[in-house]
Structure 1
Amino acid sequence: MPASPGTSASNVVEHEIVVSAPATAVYRLLSKVGNWPRIFPSVVHVDRVEPLTRGERIQVWEVVDGRARTWTSTRVFDPYGLRIDFQDEEPGLPGAPLEGAWVIESRSATESSVRLRRAGRGTGGAVEEADRRCRSELAALKPQLESGNAATELTFSFTDTVQVDGAARDVYDFINDAQRWQERLPHVARARLAEEPPGLQTLEMDTKAADGSTHTTTSYRVTFPHRRIAYRQFTLPALMALHTGIWTFKDHGEGTAASSQHTVVLNTDNIARVLGPDADVAQARDYVRTALSTNSTATLRLAKEYAEQRRR
C-alpha cells in the first residue's frame, strides 16, 4: 500500500473543498477512471493496466500547457473509509509528486468534504506543480458532482458500427494514418498528425460540415495497435463542451467489427447562436449527433473499402 503522504516524502500539499453531494457519490465517481476525461480537463484517456487485490494499476495520458505526457500509477481503494491512495510509478515530470490520497468525509446526507493530498521529494517547482494540480483537480471535480440532472441531460454517448470483410489490422491502419485523411476523406479539408511520445498523437484537422462551414479541431489520440484508438478533442466546435471517443476494431473470425463511439457534453451557451433563438437542448443533441455520426460512418465505410481491397 502506498505510504501516507508525509511518511516518506519531504513535501506535502493538501487542499479541501466542500461539495453538495453524498460522500458515497464522490467516492464512486473518483474510483472509476473511465470518468476522468469527463471530469478533468487535461486528461485524454485512462487505461486500467492491471487489477490488484485492493486496487488497480492505471496508465494516464494528459495534456498540460500544450505538452502531452503519460505515466502509470497504482491506486489502493478503501471503500469503507472512503479513501483512495495513489502512488505514481513513472512521474510525468521530473520531481513530480510521487504519492497522495483522495479522502472523502460525509458532512450530511447531501454534503461532503473532499481532501486531496499530494507529496513528493522535489522542491521549488515540484511543490508548485503539486499545489497547482490539487487546486485544478478539486475545482474541476466540484461542478461535476453538483450539476446533477442538468449534466445528465447535456451528456450523451452513441456508437456507429460497420462490418468489414477484412482484417482488423488494415482497418486500424486506415484510422491510425490520419495524416492521409485529407486525400482519403471528403469531409476533411486539412489534416496534420504528430506523435510524441510514441503512442500519443496530436491531430489538427479542418472538417467540412453539411452546411458548407469548416470547423478546426485539435485532438489528442492514444493508440493501442491494432485494437483501438481513444481520443479527446481539445479545440471544439461551438456546440460541444466536451467530445471524447474511441475507435475499436474487433476481429470476429469472419471479418472485423469496426466501431466509432462518441461521448459529448453540450455547450448550452452557444445553442441559440448556432441553431437559432428557438432551438432547445433536444435539437442541439440531434444536430451534434447527426454531424458526428455522418462523419464517423463515412470514415468507417472508407476504411471498410480500404481493408476489403487489401484482402482481395
Structure 2
Amino acid sequence: MTTLVRCLVVSSTQRRVDHAITIEGDVETVFDLIADIARWPQFHRSAVHAETVHANEKGELVRHWALAGDAAVRAWQTVRRTDRPGRRITFAHMEPEQPATDLRGEWVFTELTPNRTRVELSHQVVAPTGADLGPLLDRIAQESEDCLATLRDTAERRADLDELVVSFTDPLFIAGSVEDAYDYLYRADLWPERIPHVVGLAMTEDVPNVQFFDMDTKGPDGSTHTVRSVRICLPNHLIVYKQISLPTMLDAHTGHWRFTETPEGVIAEARHTSTIKRSALSQLGGATTVAEARRYLRRLLSGNSMSNLRLAKAYAEERAGF
C-alpha cells in the first residue's frame, strides 16, 4: 500500500512531498525499472518519450515528454544522477514549473528481503514566500501515486510481462535524402491518400512537432479499427509514437520511426513494442495461445510498417532521381 505525506512544510519557502511503497520484487529489478527511462512509455500511461541528451561523470541531462490529458503534452528536462551501489537516483528540474524556483527529488530503494523492496520517492519544492503551490503539489502527488502504482504492477508482473510484451525493429535502406524519408512519415495527415490500409485520419499539431491523431485502419479481414495516438517528432531523426486508445487485444503499444544517414543514403527503421492483453486472446480464436498471438502481432505490425517504409523509400528515391 502506498503511504503519503501530502505536504511537509520545511520552511516558509520550501515544501517536501514524500511517497513510499512496498513491492514484492527484488531490488535490482525494481531499480532497473526506474533507471531505464526508455522503458517508461510502455508501462506508464502518461509517459510518451524520454531520452538522454548527454551524460558525463556528473550525471545525465534527460528530456521528458508526458501526456497532460488526451490532447496535450508536457515537456521538461532534468539532471539525473544514478547511484546503483547506493540504490539511489536523484533528479533536478532544469526549469521548474512556476511558481516553483527549484524542484528536485530522489528515489531510494531498500531491500527488505531478497524478494521485497521498499521504494521511497520524495520531491522538494522551493518557491517565493506566499506563492500558491497547491496546484503544483497536487499534480506532483497524483503523478507520484500513479507512477508508484505502475511500478509495483510492472515489477510484480515481470514474468508475465516477459511473455506478453512483443518488441522488434525492422530496418530498410533508402537511396534518398533523410529529409524526404522523414517527411513522408511525418506527414501523417496525408496517409489516407498514400497508405492503403489507412482509410481515415484526423490530425492536430497545435504545438510544432507534437501530433495527435485518430486513425482508421483496415485489417487483413476487412474490419476497420480506430486508434488515437500521440507522436513526438524530432526532425529528420526520430518520430516516437504512443497509442492512447488501443485495439482491444492490447494493453499498450509504443514505437518509433528512426532515420540514420549513411554515406549511401538512409537506414530507416520501424520499431514496435506491444503488450498483449491476456484476457483478450479469445478474439483471435477460442484456443489462441500467447505464442500464437505474438506471431500474429509480429506478422501484422511488421507487415504494415514495412509497407509504410517501402512507400517512404519509393517517395524519397523518386525525388532523388532513382
Structure 1 residues 187 and 96 mapped into 2: Cα distance closer, same or farther (>3 Å)?
Answer: farther
**Could you tell me how far apart the structure 2 residues matched to 1:8 and 1:170 are?**
55
- Partner residue of 2:124 out of 119, 125, 140: 119
Counterpart residue number, 1:276: 285
| Cα shift readout 1:32-70 (whole Å, capped 9, x = no counterpart) | 111111231100110111103142110111102222111
1:30 aligns with 2:34: yes
**Could you tell me how far apart the structure 2 residues matched to 1:224 and 1:270 are?**
34
Counterpart residue number, 1:82: 87
Counterpart residue number, 1:17: 21
Counterpart residue number, 1:174: 184
Where 1:143 maps in the other structure, the secondary structure is helix
1:69 aligns with 2:78: no
Where 2:207 maps in the other structure, the secondary structure is coil
**Could you tell me how far apart the structure 1 residues matched to 2:202 and 2:143 are?**
30
1:1-312, aligned counterparts within 5 Å? 10-66=14-70, 67-91=72-96, 95=100, 98-120=103-125, 121=127, 123-272=133-282, 274-312=283-321
**Could you tell me how far apart the structure 2 residues matched to 1:8 and 1:138 are?**
29
Identity of aligned residues (%): 35
Q: CA deviation at 1:25?
A: 2.2
Structure 1 residues 133 and 9 mapped into 2: Cα distance closer, same or farther (>3 Å)?
Answer: farther
Q: Over the residues paired in the alignment, what is the CA RMSD in angstroms?
A: 1.9
Where 1:277 maps in the other structure, the secondary structure is coil
Q: CA deviation at 1:7?
A: 8.3
Where 2:208 maps in the other structure, the secondary structure is coil
Where 1:69 maps in the other structure, the secondary structure is strand
Deviates more, 1:286-295 or 1:170-179: 286-295
**Could you tell me how far apart the structure 2 residues matched to 1:195 and 1:97 are?**
31
Equivalent pairs counted in the alignment come to 307
Q: CA deviation at 1:28?
A: 2.0
Unaligned runs of 5+ in 1: none
Q: CA deviation at 1:301?
A: 0.9
Where 1:98 maps in the other structure, the secondary structure is strand
Structure 1 residues 110 and 96 mapped into 2: Cα distance closer, same or farther (>3 Å)?
Answer: farther
Letter paired with 2:82: F
Unaligned runs of 5+ in 2: 1-8
**Could you tell me how far apart the structure 2 residues matched to 1:131 and 1:261 are?**
33
